[in-house]
Structure 1
Amino acid sequence: MPHPTPEACVFRPTIALALALLTGAGTVRAETHYYLVDAVATQASDADLRAQATELEKIHADLERVSGVQARLVYSTDPDINALATEIDGEKIILVQAGLLAAMGNDRDAVAATLGHEMGHHKADHLGAGRRKEQGARVVGTILGAIIGAKLGGRHAGAGAVLGGAAGNVGGNLVALKFNRNQEMEADRLGLGWMIAAGYNPQGMLRLQQRLGELEAGHAPATMFRTHPPSAKRYQAAQELIAKLAPPAELLARPLAPIADSAAIAAATEQIRHDGETALAEALDPKLGDIPAAALAPISAIGFDDYAALQNELVYAGDAGRAHALAHHKLDAAKLAELDRGYTARMQQAPALSERYSIAFFRATQGRFAAHGRDLADSFAHHQALRLDPPFPLEQLLAINAATTQPHVDAGQAQAEALKTAGMTSYEFLIGQNWWMRKATIAALTGDTALLARISGSGEEDAADDDEEDAAEDSGVHVGEGVHVGEGVRIGGHKEPATPSQH
């Protein structure tokens, strides 16, 4: 199981648990972190990591069911080979370290044996007995408190709380006991019985003992050798108990399997994709409220969606074809002005109407970028990412934009010349420019503001906040109230009502 990193996990309140481990010499292993396994299973953005955590949860749940032991399952990034049963302020904890899962990750039954063994310590109250007799108790860590700076989309800070009911007990001790041989044997016996009852091959316990013996013989550093001493006697006792319990032959014949197989990884990959789309949809939703029915009432027999489509058609027709397009709809300049005034006023009163205008406008796109117009419409309508490749290269967009911002030049004439050189009409550029700006907005929401900065012409890292905001607003970016994108860049507020002149 790979180590979860800030890039691999997204943390939510009451999920993240941070501890610093202390060795016997008192040095601090500050890079070790602990996470509730259910958090890793639902939050990790690495498919292998999420799949292994999900399957680890299933194994744990199976053993909880047959043992009656209720314990919180915690995953540590520590590369040391170890697992342990412990308590935090009376709450039962089973902890597995990254090193153990890396060593045993190809053997699901060996991992089940490990969890069953640790549950056995809880079931037999070995921790309580050890504390009462004060035999071998040692503090190996102290809860430092909630993680601060958890990452959302790689940028947003948040606060996490420590493990469940222990959240308010910052400073509580994490106690690990060195159990005696009889206690280890008892935990083995209990764990083996639960493995069989839960449908796991009990030979995983033999392979676990064998693997630990190999590691010890190879002088692999592992705390587990101190807290769970492997021995030929324990291996033999497990063999004898398996024979006595006589598990079904088909269970004993079950082949070696990893914690997470290809199907589990594929499922995790699909869930990560779905989670990403869901999170993006939430971020892209401007939450502008409902549209009153009266706002959609036709004006001069022209409905709102038809009006937005008409505006697209007029831009496509250009000055030369404008009169013909109006005549086709039995309209003249005066009637169009009436429609403009009426629907613009409604959009000012109902902000959600402006988003609907964008959807209908781009849905009506014609010509060679018609598919990109529909891609834009779908992105606005369903709050989703754009699906198509760019209509034209970014460099072409930047070059045309740059031509219109040169000092002492006529912007309209400069754009016309740049478009002619690019072999593009002003209508096509309008659709493509809006597509690129939507793409930049979405990238900014996921933490990458470079594209937005390039398009808006504000690439310097030390640019003033106000300049960044103005550039974004001038470009028509509207990503919702209070959404921050990048260092010093804030794009907020509601979308201004769209008007024909904005397209």
Structure 2
Amino acid sequence: MSKRGKSGNLIGSLLFVSLLFNPLLAFAKPKPKPTPPPVSETPLQKAQKELPKDYFVVYAIVDKIARANGLDNKPWRIVVTPNYTVNAFASDTNLLTFEAGLMDQLEGNASALACAIAHEMGHHVKQHLGYGPAKQEQARKEEIEKAERNKIIAEQDAQTQALIGAGVGTGIATVGQQVGGIGGGLLQLGGALFGGASQQKAKNIEAIKAKIEQEAEINYNKRLMEISQSQELEADETGYIYSVTAGFDPNGCIAVMDVLGRMPGAQSEGSSHPAPEKRTQQINALMAKNPPETLKAKGKTSLTAKPTPLRYEIFNYQREGGGTLSGLKVFPITGTTQDDLNRYLN
């Protein structure tokens, strides 16, 4: 027998002896590897899987800003439109609308988008919208009426008296006779001012009335512009504070202004928004007045105390005047009404 044959027999013999003394080895099955416990998804991971990209990005930012700044006591609604315009706006009740053009222009800069989102949230927090555009406009008209009526009448009174002649009026007009114009009644002039005037002077009177209305409209539009610009600057301030408190880069707000500054007509006179250069100057001043490190530390405390992201759901509803609106509702920290009700039912 060859050496190889002897060697094989020897190995076989040893294996037989081993099995003889350890019979369980011949029948034992390999132990299965333990199954690792399933990895649970975080709420944000779940949202990232469920939501379209733009909606997830805006939701995650709104959620963090709300929890960091104590704005999680109310629901927020988000709409992302396909309109390719560089715009975002606040409307209705806690509704934030972002258009595709803005999302595209701020692509790659989450802090810039966070500042833009916080700006729109600020419009709601500061009650710039009142109870809606219609009532806001009415409130503005009332403010203009109070500020402008007496001034305009007083300025025109001397000229009016000279044209109408003696014995017609007694000085400043009393309120009573409505004059057409802005809103069908921004200005009212007393009957004593125009009553008794001779017919030949009617044209002169109409010219004066037209001049008063024209001046009132100029002042009205100017005042509206001033109010709008003041509100935008206030929303810029809240945008900076809210976004930085939530942990985002303060230079994101500067980046937004850089984008807006490249838009056609950005520097035109008479805009409802201040010039981007002026807004940038204010943001730089805010950085010195409200250091980012201080704001971030404050926000970190709030986020640590409330680590769970806010819940959300898709909503659809019929808008007043027609049309359906779809978007994302972000619930307050208490959850849905049913969630809060359960605390009282159990």
Same fold (TM over 0.5): no
Q: Which has the larger radius of gyration?
A: 2
Q: TM-score, structure 1 length as denominator?
A: 0.29
Q: TM-score, structure 2 length as denominator?
A: 0.41
Point out which structure has higher relative CO (alpha carbons under 8 A, 6+ apart).
Answer: 2
